[in-house]
Amino acid sequence: MRTEVFHQVEGFDTNFWNGYEDVDFCLKLGELDKSLVFRPESVVVHYEGQSGDDQHPHLKDNAALLNERWLDRIEPDYYVGMDKAFTPAPSFSIRTYADPRLRFPKTDFSNEKAPTASVVVLTRNALESTRKCVDSLLKHTDKRHELIFVDNASTDGTGDFLLELTRQHEHCHALYNQETWVTPRATTWASPSRAGNSSSC
């Protein structure tokens, strides 16, 4: 996602507590007529509950906030019947995405003007999972992209690990919370630190 678009919709709404902030975010993008594209070849493993404690007590509040904000402003793409069958709604708007047919010469990314991205990772007391995440990002991410880690008041040595990581890799940065922040707040808080042209959270 382009950083300027993230700022245009004011990032994730911190009124949500680890739930539906991503849905709200996508709906805000839709209001700007931005394309939301599902790419099935992209696979992300979600380790449930690794970013902090107290993950689920606010599910009803989150759902109520989402419905209050969007229920009368959007139309469904499908209706789900009592038999669990999906029926396309008259407002059905999902389309097959096709890559642009216009091809440009291969871009040379060796110069400093090449597009960059900021990857934001939130962690709390998940040292081993954080190590695996770091190893994967360092292996598969070009060094022109920055990696921002937000430590959520960890007490298991994650902070020390991230400190050493940032000393060894110039494109890695760490921010340290003194209290537990949920994903929307922590991710949006890290936003001013981003130097990339686009963002991935």
pLDDT 10s digits, 97-136? 776 665 656 655 555 566 788 888 888 898 999 999 999 9
What's the mean pLDDT in 161-182? 88
Residue 52 has pLDDT above 60, yes or no: no
From the candidate CATH numbers 3.40.50, 1.10.260, 3.30.420, 3.90.550, the one assigned to the domain spanning 3-72+112-200: 3.90.550
Q: Which of 91-100, 136-145, 164-173 has the lowest mean pLDDT?
A: 91-100
Name the token pair of 129.
């999972």
Distance CA 172, CA 138 (A): 9
Q: What's the pLDDT band for 167 if we cut at 50, 70, 90?
A: very high
Most confident segment among 98-112, 130-144, 173-187? 130-144
Name the token pair of 146.
């920055």
pLDDT of residue 179: 73
pTM (2 d.p.): 0.62
Distance CA 176, CA 47 (A): 21
Q: Are 120 and 201 in contact (CB under 8 A)?
A: yes
Q: What is the mean pLDDT of the chain?
A: 82
Q: Are 20 and 65 in contact (CB under 8 A)?
A: yes
For the chain, the structural domain boundaries read 3-72+112-200
